[in-house]
Amino acid sequence: MSRTVRALIVSLVFAFAASALAQTTLSFWSWRTEDVAAYEKFIAAFHADNPDIDVTFTPYLNTEYNTILSTALQGGGGPDIVHLRAYGGMESLAQAGLLVRLDGQVAALEGFDPGVLLGATNRADGGVYGVPFALQTVQVLYNVDMFERLGLEEPTTWAELLAVGDALKASGVYAFANGTKDGWTNETLFGAVGPTFYGGTPFFQEITAGETDFTDPRFAAALERMVALRPYLADNYTGVGYTDMQTLFAFEQAGMFAAGSYELGNMAQLNPDLRIGSFAVPADDAATPSAISFYVDGSYGINANSPHQEAALRFIEFLASQEFGQMFTDELQQISAVPGTQPTSEALAGMVEMMNEQGTPYLMLTAFRFGQPSGSTLLQNEMQAVMAGDKTVADAVTNIQRGVAEWFEGFQ
Amino acid sequence: MAASSPASRLAARVAIYLVLGVLAAVFLYPVALMILTAFKPTPEIFRNPFGLPESWGLDGFLEVWRRAKFGLYLRNSLLITGASALLLLATAAPAAYALARYSFRLRGVLFLFFLAGIMIPIRLGILPLYLLMRDLNLLDTPFSLILTYTASGMPMSVFLLSVFFRNLPRELEDAARIDGCTETQTFWRIMLPLVRPGLATVVIVNVVPWWNDFFFPLLFIQTDTWKTIPLGMQIFFGQHLVNWSLVFSGMVLASLPLLIIYLLMSRQFIAGLTAGAVKG
Amino acid sequence: MRDVRSWWGKHGHLVLFLTPALVIYGMFMAYPLISSLTYSVYEWDGYLRRGFNGLDNFVTVLTRWPYNERFWGAISHNALFFVLTFAIQTTLGLFVAVLLARKWRGFAFFQAAYFLPHTLSLVVVGFLWRMLLNPTWGAVGQGLRRVGLGDWVQPWLGQSDTALVTIILVNAWAWLGFPILVYLAAVQAIPREFHEAAVVDGASPWQDFRHVTLPLLLPTIAMVTILTFIWDFNAFELVFVMQGASGSPSYATDLLATFFYRTAFGDPTTGGEPGQIGIAAAIGVLMLIIIGFVSAFGVRFTQRSQTEY
């Protein structure tokens, strides 16, 4: 072995050792088990510019993530970077002092839409504790090819919607893929059907200000429309769970699916050939404006107990950057919360347009998840019973109002 | 019975076989269907739900093994269940021996103290137990599970083993003492080997629920490193719910270890369990 | 000093024998169970303990809506769980055990078959049956359609009047092998002469069962019943896996353990509700009281009936 080769090896070894010494590894916890591959790409892009920082992405099962995260953080442990839920889901962590306040530290946050930042704001001190990552809309998705084959068009009135449903049923598929077995999917169905009939943002502002409550006839009217769709749901819909719905819509056994924008990515995995369009549930006449729900899905935060604050902040700044926002949209087919990102897919662009023109905050998630029993828990379980025919809308309204009034100051 | 004709006795015999056979089908068919389905790719599951699979490829299993880190979960389950069984035997046997073969002032109280736990499931203490594990820094380590399992198996095991120890003849100890054995030597060399069937019973009674336990890993184990098979599989099922073929393969793999042990040694298995139950 | 040494010489081995078991059992079982009693009389803010608040948490569980509705609902579901399971195992289970005791050819196979599902994890049992019972493509529905009984297909797990019974039957499928085995062992332990004497007296098989087998089995039946009670009042996994932590649909399958879990750790499906330790601990203590009292009473009763013969 020549001397130069030996010198080269030695210096290489030293270089490795040196870089290993300077290397910081950030841990990053999430509930997005479906997105592992995408996050690995994002992290690789970050690592390319920041070779001294490495990030390990660890996803947990959606339904167990909250328990795992809050117990770990309360115990003084947990990851450096935290994938946070939105609204009530993150607020308790921020209030307990477990997260780093980011406004003032992350310059890019100033460019974010104030309404979007609400999803990562602690109402007690007004501080922003996370960089919002995605916006989701809830509306009706439909199978474009199936509509074309049957000569159907996006409905502009409620009667047309029902006519579209009848035509789909007559062609041998279900009108809607939706079922009610999994409680939370009832809230999604409401998020798609409700806003048009309770009157969107004006009602939202009144009820969150405590000027009206859930006994308002507009709310009951919205629930009634959900009930009116029962004949158009899948057969035995009370036994149809979330995965069944996905299967039905992806494999073209149903023409429509009241669902969140996040299904675009799921559908692309299940059946890449499926062309998906979307529309807002129309009102009785075409002149009355229709609305869809939207919400901030969650945000990225920093664990206050993390020993790597500086590195974590650099990664968070990357997550707030336009470069990341665009990558996020392209990779995951979701609406990035970073301002100025352009959705590349047609289906997603349609949703963004609807959100900008007709979007209203997703009622229970954005405003009534701050106490127990949450508006979501109440809506989900009460409407599950109503949809099964075990309860009336009036009973459901009474219980939802009573439950939220237990803790919501606006109603007390 | 004595008065009945051979024909009606035959009819009765056929009827009994029929009843038991139908019942056996009810118990076995879903398991068989699960195994058959695991060999089918997802489209075939819809197309041909009941028939034999078109090919007997092991792709689904290999994919689960790879994607679900099944080997890791299997190792964890083996280590945790094995360590719990050893620790339980090592602690319950001497305690049972002391309570069964000596008379001392606290004996009655201590025996009752252990016995009280038989009726109360440890789950009801989960909140303090959880915080205790957190304060001892045992969360996310196998020790949280090993200690919990050992503690929860203690009451029944102490009780069972004390029954076994009590049935041994008194002459054994006297002979050992004459030979100059210390108390510890008597226990270890003479008495313990004689209750081997009891030890086996204790292991069998406890290992099945430990192996299948989902509740404590759900709360104590957070990272993949120490997930056990039931928890790992639950998460895996959650992630791949729409990939039915993978889910069925995962279920079969998760069930296989106990199934094999059970098929190989069902007699000992059953003897151990019924001894445990009948004595308890 | 000498006292200590001689005491140690006399009792040292006892300390050695008993300490490890006492430490593990005391620390990881007795202590948590006893402290959960104390947890229930404090106010909690997340995982931080605040002031003593007496029986407030119990009052909340028992009287304040929606806790009271959930609590009584859950108790009635657990009770139905136990009663139905008990009914199945002491009729069908006992019947099968008595038949199997004849030890005819092939009975060992039946015995093994009945017990086989008992070795499966409840997580697997839950997923398996959730798929089998799925109304759109599950094997049960497809099977019924094939034999022309398509009208019988129902969303069994989605209807509030069938969901709980369906869960109980699935549980029975996984559990029944155990009582069958225990009863079988007990039937086989009855000395042959007892039956022979009955046959000589001209007893029919039913009379033999009624007057010889059943009385001798009573202690075993009582013991298995107590075990079943403890198990069924703790049931959690099947509902959690098949119906979610809130006992879907609309709490129709909610059990004490799922109610407890939800209250303590928040409902995972709605995302981010804060857990309420004090109220959860009160639920746990109430479960402890129910299970402890009923099983202690059961054991007393069994012992008394045992001494009668």
pLDDT in tens, C10-20: 888 899 999 99
Count CA atoms within 13 Å of residue C163 on its CB side.
25
Those of residues 35-94 in C touching chain B at CB distance below 8 A are 35-36, 39, 47
pLDDT at C127 over 80: yes
Q: What mean pLDDT comes out for the span C97-124?
A: 90
End-to-end Cα separation, chain C, in angstroms? 53
The pLDDT value recorded for residue A324 is 96
- pLDDT tens-place values along chain A, 412 residues long: 456 666 656 555 555 554 544 688 999 999 887 788 899 999 999 999 999 999 999 887 776 677 778 777 877 778 999 999 888 778 888 888 899 999 999 999 999 988 899 999 998 899 999 999 999 999 999 999 999 999 999 999 999 999 999 999 999 999 999 999 998 999 999 999 999 999 999 999 999 999 999 999 999 999 999 999 999 999 999 999 988 899 899 989 999 999 999 899 888 878 889 999 999 999 999 999 999 999 998 999 999 999 999 999 999 999 999 999 999 999 888 999 999 898 888 899 999 999 999 999 999 999 998 887 889 999 999 999 999 999 999 999 999 999 999 889 999 8
Query: What phi and psi values does residue B43 have, to the nearest 5 degrees?
Result: -60, -35
Residues whose CB falls within 8 Å of the CB of residue A106, separated by 6 or more in sequence, listed in order: A131, A313, A316, A317, A320
Same domain, A76 and A89: yes
CA distance B171 to chain C (A): 20
* Whether residue B53 has a cis bond before it, omega within 30° of 0: no
Reading the block at residue C35, the tokens are 């402290």
Q: What residues of A are in contact with residue B223 (Cβ under 8 Å)?
A: 58
The CATH number covering residue C179 comes to: 1.10.3720.10
pLDDT at C125 over 50: yes
The pLDDT value recorded for residue B52 is 87
Report CA B240 to chain centroid distance, whole Å: 27
The pLDDT value recorded for residue B240 is 67
Q: Which CATH architecture has domain B69-239?
A: Orthogonal Bundle (1.10)
The pLDDT value recorded for residue B4 is 61
Contact: A246, B222; criterion CB under 8 Å: no
Determine the angle formed by the axes of helices B142-166 and C2-25, rounding to 10 degrees: 120
Which segments within A86-168 are labelled E, that is strand? 131-143
Instruction: Of B113, B183, B170, B190, give the one whose Cα is nearest residue C15.
Output: B183
The pLDDT value recorded for residue C188 is 87
Q: What residues of B are in contact with residue A250 (Cβ under 8 Å)?
A: 242
DSSP codes joined into one string, B96-122? HHHHHH---TTHHHHHHHHHHHHHS-G
Those of residues 59-98 in A touching chain C at CB distance below 8 A are 62-67, 70-71, 74, 85, 87-90, 92, 96
Chains that touch C (3 or more CB pairs under 8 A): A, B
Instruction: Of B85, B83, B68, B90, give the one whose Cα is nearest residue B141.
Output: B83
- Matching residue, tokens 């608040």: C53
- Matching residue, tokens 């009590």: B166
pLDDT at B279 over 60: no
The pLDDT value recorded for residue C12 is 87
Amino acid, res. A233: L
Nearest CA in chain A to B132: A75
pLDDT class of C199 with cuts at 50, 70, 90? confident
What residues are paired with B113 via a beta bridge?
none
Residues C211 and A323: their CA atoms lie apart, in Å, by 84
Is the residue at C224 inside a domain? yes
Instruction: Name which of B13, B50, B251 is nearest C127 (Cβ-Cβ).
Output: B251
The pLDDT value recorded for residue B250 is 87
Instruction: Of B161, B127, B125, B129, give the one whose Cα is nearest residue B145.
Output: B129
Same domain, A121 and A46: yes
Please return the burial class of A230, using the count of CB atoms within 10 Å of its CB with bins 0-12, 13-18 and 19+. Answer: middle
Show which of A323, A347, A371 is a domain's final residue. Answer: A347
Where are the domains positioned within chain B? Answer: 6-59, 69-239
pLDDT class of B46 with cuts at 50, 70, 90? confident
The CATH number covering residue A286 comes to: 3.40.190.10
Instruction: Name which of B134, B218, B234 is nearest A75 (Cβ-Cβ).
Output: B134
Same domain, A367 and A264: yes
pLDDT class of B2 with cuts at 50, 70, 90? very low
Q: Are strands A24-30 and A254-260 parallel, antiparallel or unpaired?
A: unpaired
Quick check: helix, strand or coil at residue C51? strand
Same domain, A257 and A286: yes
Instruction: Name which of B19, B49, B128 is nearest C36 (Cβ-Cβ).
Output: B128
3-state DSSP helix/strand/coil % of chain A, to nearest 5 = 55, 15, 30
Nearest CA in chain A to C265: A67
pLDDT in tens, B106-126: 898 998 899 888 777 787 788
pLDDT at B256 over 70: yes
The pLDDT value recorded for residue B260 is 87
**DSSP code of residue A209:** T
The pLDDT value recorded for residue B277 is 57
Same domain, A250 and A395: yes
Same domain, A302 and A360: no
The answer to whether the CB of B214 falls within 8 A of the CB of B234 is yes
Q: Is A11 on the interface with B (CB under 8 A)?
A: no
Domain encompassing residue A342 = 3-134+297-347
Contact: B222, A247; criterion CB under 8 Å: no
Please return the burial class of B6, using the count of CB atoms within 10 Å of its CB with bins 0-12, 13-18 and 19+. Answer: exposed
Residues A57 and A300: their CA atoms lie apart, in Å, by 12
CA distances from B277 to B204, B205, B208, C186, C217 (A): 11, 9, 14, 10, 13
Determine the angle formed by the axes of helices A183-198 and A200-208, rounding to 10 degrees: 110
Residues whose CB falls within 8 Å of the CB of residue C220, separated by 6 or more in sequence, listed in order: B278, C182, C183, C186
Residues C238 and A268: their CA atoms lie apart, in Å, by 32
- Matching residue, tokens 């009108």: A175
Instruction: Considering only residues B198 and B31, tell me which one the structure prediction assigns the higher pLDDT.
Output: B31
pLDDT class of B241 with cuts at 50, 70, 90? low
Residues B277 and C16: their CA atoms lie apart, in Å, by 29
pLDDT class of B280 with cuts at 50, 70, 90? very low
pLDDT at B238 over 70: no
Q: What residues of A are in contact with residue B224 (Cβ under 8 Å)?
A: 58
The pLDDT value recorded for residue C308 is 42
The answer to whether the CB of C256 falls within 8 A of the CB of C233 is yes
Residues A360 and B244: their CA atoms lie apart, in Å, by 37
Report the share of chain B in percent with pLDDT over 90: 33
Instruction: Considering only residues B205 and C155, tell me which one the structure prediction assigns the higher pLDDT.
Output: C155
Q: What H or E segment, with its residue span, contains residue C42?
A: strand C42-45
pTM of the full predicted structure?
A: 0.87
Residues A139 and A194: their CA atoms lie apart, in Å, by 10
Domain encompassing residue C117 = 75-307
The pLDDT value recorded for residue A37 is 84
CA distances from A124 to A87, A128, B87, C85 (A): 12, 11, 50, 51
Is the residue at C255 inside a domain? yes
Residues A192 and A258: their CA atoms lie apart, in Å, by 6
Those of residues 55-114 in C touching chain A at CB distance below 8 A are 65-66
Count of the separate structural domains present in chain A: 2
Contact: C272, A89; criterion CB under 8 Å: yes
Angle at A200 between CA A197 and CA A204, to 5 degrees: 120
CA distances from C243 to B271, C139, C238 (A): 35, 19, 8
Same domain, A302 and A289: no
* Whether residue B128 has a cis bond before it, omega within 30° of 0: no
Quick check: helix, strand or coil at residue A372? coil
Instruction: Of A42, A29, A34, give the one whose Cα is nearest residue A264.
Output: A34
Instruction: Considering only residues C275 and C127, tell me which one the structure prediction assigns the higher pLDDT.
Output: C127
Nearest CA in chain C to B277: C182
Residues A328 and A212: their CA atoms lie apart, in Å, by 39
pLDDT in tens, B135-148: 898 988 999 999 99
How does the average pLDDT of chain C come out, rounded?
A: 88
Q: What mean pLDDT comes out for the span C124-136?
A: 90
Q: What mean pLDDT comes out for the span C189-204?
A: 86
Q: What mean pLDDT comes out for the span C265-269?
A: 70
